[in-house]
Amino acid sequence: MMNTEIETNVFPLKVTTAEKVNLLDLDLPALTEFFVGLQEKNFRAQQVFKWIHQKGVADFSLMTDLSLSLRKKLPEVCEIRAPIVAREDVSSDGTRKWLMKVEGGNYIETVFIPEKDRGTLCVSSQVGCALNCSFCSTATQGFNRNLTVSEIIGQVWRAAQRLRELSLEAKSEIEAEEPKITNVVMMGMGEPLLNFDAVMSALSIMRHELAYALPRRRVTLSTSGVVPNIYRFSTEADAALALSLHAPNDALRNQLVPINKKYPIAMLMDACRQYTVDKPNRHVLMEYVMLRGVNDSVEIAKQLVKILEGIPCKVNLIPFNPFPGADYERSKVEDIQAFRAVLMRAGLVTTLRKTRGEDIDAACGQLVGRIVDKTRRNERFLQKTAVDGK
């Protein structure tokens, strides 16, 4: 494991002013409007869009296919401002976690997981999380605010920038792998569907052929079950859907995922069916964290089979990743295997997620950042932890 504190000027951008428009906040239609407002042709937006996202360029003077007059004008009215990388942690398995500074004295976390045939970037959507799932470390940190478009897509922009640096370093090594973002998962800090508009704009940039050009099946949004916005997502977004399910009955899911009290399982399953209806290439990834003695019995597995009947889906079993003060333990390997066997006998495609980045607290459910907590949830959690002696 390697931990690196990074000075805030390690990726220097120009000094900003409040009046300037941050171009990272704009998807292509919005960027086109911006350039029309400057009495420029529509194609200028496409040129700048490519410079920003395909090439990672933030200096307008380097955008050589723009006119000289436009290159001089742009710094006066706009900027390209992403979250600042404050720290980089590198796991023994190659996973990288970046602590990124955003407005208001807050820090979020973003994780890159390299594999032989892919590179997955886990992106945050909120500072903390407005929900309070009982098995998630992020939830104990409380909540501050939603991230802006620039703070969401800025995580991708910063990660791509850093990976380009690593690629240049790798070229000097024999047979070195060049890291690259091939997949993005909205599974970091926060509930993406509670920050719907900003997340949708960021997803459109990730998918756009003039930006990161990620295929639909390689961009995944994970939700705890905000039912009305699952319906909106079904029609407004061209991306994959994952559901943090974790329990097959309301009594248990109310305990693990409190939003279930507002949107119970029957409503949730109906929304998942709507996401897949008349779309043969769509399925829902059902995420299921394995908690010892809580939701990992064979009987619970049979209940899970029943509620998923008729829904095109895959099930991803996730070994619980412990954190200080947690009330849960990871399921035994034999219990996970028995649970999985029940699902597979019922014809459900079931995978077991490999834990990555655990030694740097970058695994699923471990992201915490540094949050100016408006909910006082972190204060209450620390008090409870002290009382319990954990």
Q: How far apart are the first and last CA of the chain?
A: 25
Task: Report residue 185 as tokens.
Answer: 């998962």
Q: How far apart are CA 17 and CA 26, in angstroms?
A: 17
Separation of CA 90 from chain center: 18
Residue type, 171: K
Question: Which listed residue (136, 272, 313, 364) is catalytic?
Answer: 364
Q: Distance (Å, rounded) from C-alpha 243 to C-alpha 226?
A: 10
Residue 253: burial class (beta carbons within 10 Å; 0-12, 13-18, 19+): buried
Quick check: is 309 catalytic? no
Alpha-carbon distances of 4 from 89, 163, 360, rounded to whole Å: 6, 15, 12
Catalytic entry in 40, 109, 151, 287: 109
Catalytic site includes residue 33? no
CA 143 – CA 374 distance, rounded (Å): 6
What are residue 343's phi and psi, to 5 degrees?
-65, -40
Q: How far is the C-alpha of 288 from the C-alpha of 200, rounded, in Å?
A: 25
- HSE-up of 319 (CA within 13 Å, CB side)? 17
Distance, CA of 40 to CA of 35 (rounded, Å): 5
Q: Please tell me the distance from the alpha carbon of residue 271 to that of residue 288, in angstroms, as a whole number.
A: 18
Q: Among all chains, which residue has been given the structure tokens 């069916």?
A: 273
- Measured CA to CA, the distance from residue 366 to residue 320 in angstroms comes to 10
| Six-digit token string for 367 | 């992201």
Residue numbers annotated as active site: 109, 364
